[in-house]
Structure 1
Amino acid sequence: MIKNTTLNQLCQTKIKLVLIGLDCLAMLLSLVLSFLFVRILSALWGIENAFYLDDLLTLKFLGLYTLFFLGGLGYFSQKEHYRLKSPWWQQVRHILFFCTFSLVITSFFSFMINMSIGRLWVIMTWLMAFVCLLLFRWVARGILIRTGCWSIPTILIGGVGNLIEACYALRSENYLHYQIQYVVLVNESGEGHEALFHASHPGIEIREEHDAFSPHDYVVICPDDRNQMSLRKTTLEVQKAGAHFAIIPPLEGVSLFDFHASKFFGYGITLLEPSVILGGPFMRFFKLLMDKIGALVALILFSPLMVFLCWKVCQDGGPAFYGQMRVGKDGRLFKCWKFRSMAANADALLKELLENDQAAREEYERDFKLKKDPRITKIGEILRKTSLDELPQLFNVLRGDMSLVGPRPIVEDEKKYYKERLMHYVSVKPGMSGLWQVSGRSDLTYAQRVYLDSWYVEHWSIWSDLVIIIKTVFVLLQRRGAY
């Protein structure tokens, strides 16, 4: 989260006015759209009692809606939506909570005061509010980018390992529009460290020293075990200059999701405690329930398509499905099913290719797959680009071998690449989709895949699963990183 005071006072005012103004417009538009939608729907269905309204009911409902609308502005303000620039999915979570809470309470009050207004209007109003608020946040972003008030010129200072991860994180958050000006490697001189950083972020300038700080700078300090003491001086310089800053502590492997910070009067320490226990029995049961229901519904919806694909794949004389042994929870092996996308003699073709093509052999040893794979059939190429080849894994989810969301299922030979992170992988069920699938998929290096799988396990929550499922839909539509 970033204080808007890193920008000048005029930009602060613009950001606040645009965000609040468009939130007001979104709430008003949702009311009008839901009214028109229910009117049209009632006329089409010919249901007389689906929408009942008179002047008194209108005033009652509008009064109740206005009350919750003002409460929503207060809630978003309390969550720092108008003073801080918080990550996109954090805002989505807050907006979803507000609209769901408002729907439940509005429905309850409508019943208590005997407001015989159409239930469909109440439901559609808050559903439209959720959609309009999200849409108008992006509209606000576009307006503020054009006025030059949204971009965040950022300086990063710290150790190479933490800097690499910080750059990945900041650049992945498209909504906030970070602009990394340069990075400073502290106590890590030498071409080796610079080459390591440039291998991950080739377009970012590396400097030996930072410029003089000003009140308009936003500085992200990324210490590690080797330079925490030297970065204390840098932190004091930043504070003395009046620049705004954030600290990314070297706590890889520790989940900081939903932590509560406690401060002690007279002492310069902060106590971090988890607000919820990740992976508790109730949360795991809820995930299991979501897996079973989601897989069953998906199988019903996609069954006609799956029957057609079975017929299409079998036209070359081979079987429709291909099962490969993968590593599951607790290291147990299971057969992971896919639509067959390769030729029936795929193993022989691969062996011949790897024996005769050194570049292909190196690529396969590094990534366990090939971008230009001669084994893939014509229908298989379509299946892979659209990820439809993975639909049979819904049966694996129903059987309990897999989850809808989880780490990428790996074969036995890949375990050695996980090293100490293997304990994270085998602690959960592998998933049909996961963090690596929505973060670049096959365009990522194998080390990045392992890191993302491990991060997912360490920071797992129902909310993160929902975010990944939503992101998966957009990734599949864009066909990004699939081959």
Structure 2
Amino acid sequence: MASVDTKPMPTPSFVAPSVASDVLLRPSAQTEVAAATRHEAARPWRMTALLMAGDTLALGVLLYVLHIASLWVAPAFAPMVMSAAPIAVGSVLSLYVGMGLYRTRVMHPVEELRSIAVPVTGLALIAPGFTYMMAGSPVAVGLVAATGALAVVVVPLARITTRIMGAHLPWWGVPAVVVGSTSATARIVDTMKRWPEIGLRPVAVCEAGTGQHGTRTGSSPEALHWARQHQVPYAILAEEAVPADQRAHTLAHYSQFFEHVFCVPATDGMVATWTTTATCDGLYGFGVRHLQHQTAARFMKRALDVVGAASLLIMLLPVFAAIALAIRYASPGPVFYRQTRMGYQGRTFTVFKFRTMYTDADTRLDDLLARNPRCRAEYEQYHKLHNDPRVTSVGQWLRRYSLDELPQLLNVLRGDMSLVGPRAYMPKELFQMRGLSRVVLQTPPGITGLWQVSGRNAVSFSSRVDLDVHYVHNWSPWLDLYLLARTLPVVCTGRGAH
């Protein structure tokens, strides 16, 4: 990716083949948003205010919890907590301002999580020492240390939650114009719409002019109109393979009109590498992260899995009981369904699910596919059916909200799976993974993952594999935390479920 902006910004990630039929903005829609775009571009403070409010709320809740705990075990320390609270909140917010975390710019949420955690971790490490000097109480020091450890997770999680919630507001996002060929711009716009919390809002899709070699990288008068008349600050160019001098000329031309200009490769199959563009010793190219090879990173992931799975199992025991009764009431048969899946390094294991199908499901499927070519084509593409005759009435409800996946928490405790990871593929699907199984199976499969928050069953099987490759290449603890935060609204709304 190339850029002429003096303030680097990560490109929108998780670019995947389009699953929506109307990702391109229609001319009528462009006309409707033109006036609003000009008005909103002049008021970027609303995004800043929302993010600051979310951070303040998270810090306030943590300090309130510390105050309540102090009243129980260290009453003399409680007044000190309340008096120091404004200073603590102000210090953190000031650090964020100094780090540029409130500037109206586009930042990928995973990078933002890491940036948010750095100052919080620093304060969490030094706060117990200050507490000991001021209070001299080992109990107070322990409370502050525990609160600091909690803050390292809660504060970044609160920021991404604020972004996810704010992304549904009509004024959220910085306006952007996408320029390029129809197929290339469709993928980019689909990404921007699917991940609105990144902060880019497409307001127009413009056809690029034809360059010297017949490639669509020339100037687009319509895009320049949006920059001049509507003050759109961002231009994203879907770049085809062109000589270096033509690329430099195109970037220089657009930079005269837009504050930020970015080139995104228009090559198919780039889903797993678009976000890892990097420079190293003057070299420019695509990088791949392999943090799963680091002992500390693996330990952190496993610790999160064990603590998270155990906590959820305890809290959800009443839900397990209610679901079990509903399944037995809907149709005769066992409560749980067992299936063989592939795990880490291709080792097979038995995955647990709540049963959502009739006991003669295989016979029903074979009969349907034999007499219905449309359903057979759908099953071959997605490995699922929209109206599946095998699924019970209760099973449809469980699948819509992913409740049938809850027993996989047992697989997480056993070490077969992780809370977040690639899809758990069946052995019979190995030969349909285009040789990418050697990449996907480098890490344990997850209950949730990138493919689930990218459209779930609306994403084709081939796209799921590409998204899983992307996850493996870009894995970090912060990516897991981000995907966990994004899973909740997807599950609650049932979006993408068949």
Give the match's secondary structure for 1:113.
helix
AA at the equivalent of 2:97 = F
Other-structure match for 1:416 = 431
Other-structure match for 1:296 = 310
Instruction: Kindly indicate whether residue 296 of structure 2 is the aligned counterpart of residue 282 of structure 1.
Output: yes
Q: Distance in 2 between matches of 1:475 and 1:434?
A: 11
Distance change in 2, residues 1:58/1:365 (3 Å): closer
Give the match's secondary structure for 1:248.
strand
Between stretches 131-140 and 341-350, larger displacement belongs to 131-140
Between stretches 280-289 and 368-377, larger displacement belongs to 280-289
Give the match's secondary structure for 1:84.
coil
Distance change in 2, residues 1:166/1:420 (3 Å): farther
AA at the equivalent of 1:244 = H
Q: Which has the higher contact order (CA 8 A, sep 6+)?
A: 2
Higher Cα Rg: structure 1 or 2?
1
CA deviation digits over 1:427-467, x for unaligned, max 9?
22221111111122112233332221121111111111111
Other-structure match for 2:28 = none
8 A contact 1:219–1:244 mirrored in 2: yes
Q: Distance in 2 between matches of 1:444 and 1:50?
A: 55
8 A contact 1:87–1:173 mirrored in 2: no
Which of 246, 253, 278 lines up with 1:237 in the alignment? 253
Between stretches 335-344 and 230-239, larger displacement belongs to 230-239
Distance change in 2, residues 1:352/1:58 (3 Å): closer
Other-structure match for 1:50 = 75
Q: Distance in 2 between matches of 1:454 and 1:104?
A: 36
AA at the equivalent of 2:300 = F
Which of 58, 81, 93 lines up with 1:72 in the alignment? 93
Other-structure match for 2:396 = 381
Q: Distance in 2 between matches of 1:138 and 1:380?
A: 29
Distance change in 2, residues 1:468/1:242 (3 Å): closer
Deviation at 1:378, TM superposition (A): 2.4
Deviation at 1:75, TM superposition (A): 3.2
Other-structure match for 1:367 = 382
Other-structure match for 2:191 = 169
AA at the equivalent of 2:298 = R
Between stretches 152-161 and 354-363, larger displacement belongs to 152-161
| Residues 240-251 of structure 1 mapped to structure 2, 5 A cutoff | 240-241=256-257, 243-249=259-265
8 A contact 2:328–2:335 mirrored in 1: yes
8 A contact 2:181–2:238 mirrored in 1: yes
AA at the equivalent of 1:114 = A
Distance change in 2, residues 1:19/1:183 (3 Å): closer
**Unaligned regions of 5+ residues in structure 2, if any?**
9-35
Other-structure match for 1:223 = 239
Q: Distance in 2 between matches of 1:433 and 1:332?
A: 19
Other-structure match for 2:418 = 403
Give the match's secondary structure for 1:335.
strand
Give the match's secondary structure for 1:481.
coil
Other-structure match for 1:306 = 320
Deviation at 1:370, TM superposition (A): 1.1
Other-structure match for 1:337 = 352
Distance change in 2, residues 1:349/1:28 (3 Å): closer
Give the match's secondary structure for 2:434.
helix
Which of 183, 203, 225 lines up with 2:206 in the alignment? 183
8 A contact 1:155–1:219 mirrored in 2: yes
* Count of paired positions: 450
8 A contact 1:184–1:210 mirrored in 2: no
Instruction: Kindly indicate whether residue 406 of structure 2 is the aligned counterpart of residue 391 of structure 1.
Output: yes
CA deviation digits over 1:371-398, x for unaligned, max 9?
1111112222222223222222222223
Q: Distance in 1 between matches of 2:88 and 2:255?
A: 41
Q: Distance in 1 between matches of 2:185 and 2:374?
A: 32
Q: Distance in 2 between matches of 1:345 and 1:212?
A: 57
AA at the equivalent of 2:193 = R
Other-structure match for 1:155 = 177
Distance change in 2, residues 1:421/1:46 (3 Å): closer
Deviation at 1:408, TM superposition (A): 1.3
8 A contact 2:422–2:446 mirrored in 1: yes
Distance change in 2, residues 1:370/1:80 (3 Å): same
Q: Distance in 2 between matches of 1:28 and 1:460?
A: 29
Distance change in 2, residues 1:133/1:296 (3 Å): closer
Distance change in 2, residues 1:476/1:33 (3 Å): closer
8 A contact 1:160–1:188 mirrored in 2: no
Other-structure match for 1:461 = 476
Q: Distance in 1 between matches of 2:177 and 2:275?
A: 23
8 A contact 1:441–1:481 mirrored in 2: yes
Deviation at 1:231, TM superposition (A): 3.3
AA at the equivalent of 1:61 = A
TM-score (norm 2): 0.73
Give the match's secondary structure for 1:419.
coil
Distance change in 2, residues 1:161/1:416 (3 Å): farther
Q: Distance in 1 between matches of 2:373 and 2:73?
A: 73
AA at the equivalent of 1:178 = R
| Residues 336-355 of structure 1 mapped to structure 2, 5 A cutoff | 336-355=351-370
Distance change in 2, residues 1:410/1:188 (3 Å): farther
Q: Distance in 1 between matches of 2:491 and 2:193?
A: 21
Distance change in 2, residues 1:187/1:397 (3 Å): farther
AA at the equivalent of 1:166 = I
8 A contact 1:155–1:183 mirrored in 2: yes
Q: Distance in 2 between matches of 1:130 and 1:252?
A: 26
Distance change in 2, residues 1:138/1:163 (3 Å): closer
| Residues 106-125 of structure 1 mapped to structure 2, 5 A cutoff | 106-114=127-135
Q: Distance in 1 between matches of 2:155 and 2:345?
A: 44
8 A contact 2:356–2:398 mirrored in 1: yes
8 A contact 2:179–2:236 mirrored in 1: yes
Other-structure match for 2:32 = none
Distance change in 2, residues 1:172/1:207 (3 Å): farther
**Unaligned regions of 5+ residues in structure 1, if any?**
195-205
Q: Distance in 1 between matches of 2:481 and 2:279?
A: 26
Instruction: Kindly indicate whether residue 44 of structure 2 is the aligned counterpart of residue 15 of structure 1.
Output: yes
Distance change in 2, residues 1:227/1:435 (3 Å): farther
Distance change in 2, residues 1:231/1:156 (3 Å): farther
Q: Distance in 2 between matches of 1:135 and 1:340?
A: 32
